[in-house]
Structure 1
Amino acid sequence: MSDTNALLQLLEGLRLRRETIQYKPLADALGLVPPKQIQKLAELLEAVQEDDALLGRPQRAALVIQKGNEPIPRPGFFIKLKTLGVYQGTDRGPEAEMWHQNELERLYEWRPGGDSEKRETP
């Protein structure tokens, strides 16, 4: 099983349980090892962000949060969203926190293959 498939399975389980996870425990669960453990995870998460943006899905990478006072993803998550045209706000602070909370709610309510996914018109 590829790292991406394993990541998607873990994220789906978190989504269904309405839970988030920090970067280090997720990297450990995927069997990623130092050096550059978190960088490898970030690359996998960015690929998921790209797919979700392309298909108009909620951002599953939003389930991964940083350790510390702000229970939101790291600034790189928001920077990637900006490059994808999904988010145009700040990468930390109240604006990022509000966007993240709204995205989590959207994600928890999302039904894969349902009407919330962008569909191509013939």
Structure 2
Amino acid sequence: MNDFALIVELCPRLRRHLEDHARAGQTVRYRDLAHEAEVPGPHTIHKTTEALEAIARADHAADRPMLAALAVGRGNDGLPGPGFFQLLRELGRYDGPDSGEPARIAHAREVNAVVAAYQDG
């Protein structure tokens, strides 16, 4: 299976797990999400983040809260990796740095929108 086909296959699996975390009102580490969704190695985290980007783009295009905001890094003080903030900038949802207080505020805004949508619906 090529990388593109794998990402297409992973998106619904990751989405289901992210929706569970949204209903529970919690974030999840990349590694834990990859384990839950049984993302195959090697390069498990890379494959997971590629699929998360696809999910984020789909959510943005459909004007939905970005489920991918729930996935966070281990050493990032509870924030997603820099790629998340780069994508937010690309999509016009954020215009700040990849770390620090502005990133924390932007991330909290995205997480709160996801949790509200999934706990209401």
Name the residue aligned to 1:6.
Answer: 13
Taking the aligned partners of 2:33 and 2:111, their CA distance within structure 1 comes to 17
Name the residue aligned to 2:59.
Answer: 52
Query: Per-residue deviation at 1:92?
Result: 0.8
Query: Per-residue deviation at 1:19?
Result: 0.9
Name the residue aligned to 2:29.
Answer: 22
After superposition, the C-alpha distances for 1:38-92 in whole angstroms (9 at most, x for unaligned) are: 1100110000110111122111101001112510111111111111222211111
Matched position secondary structure for 2:45:
helix
Moved more, 23-32 or 103-112: 103-112
Query: What's the TM-score, normalizing by structure 2?
Result: 0.85
Query: What's the TM-score, normalizing by structure 1?
Result: 0.84
> How many residues are treated as equivalent by the alignment?
113
Find out whether 1:86 has 2:93 as its counterpart. yes
Stretches of structure 1 that go unaligned for 5 or more consecutive residues are 115-122
Quote the sequence identity (%).
34
Tell me which structure has the larger Cα radius of gyration.
Answer: 1
Taking the aligned partners of 1:13 and 1:64, their CA distance within structure 2 comes to 12
Give the counterpart of 2:109 among 88, 94, 102. Answer: 102
| RMSD, aligned α-carbons | 1.9
| CA pair 32-82 structure 1, distance change in 2 beyond 3 A | same
Is residue 49–residue 81 contact of structure 1 (8 Å, CA) maintained in 2?
Answer: no
The structure in which a higher percent of residues are helix is 2
Matched position secondary structure for 1:110:
helix
Higher relative contact order (CA 8 A, sep 6+): 2
Name the residue aligned to 1:35.
Answer: 42
Name the residue aligned to 1:119.
Answer: none
Runs of 4+ in structure 1 over 3 Å off: none
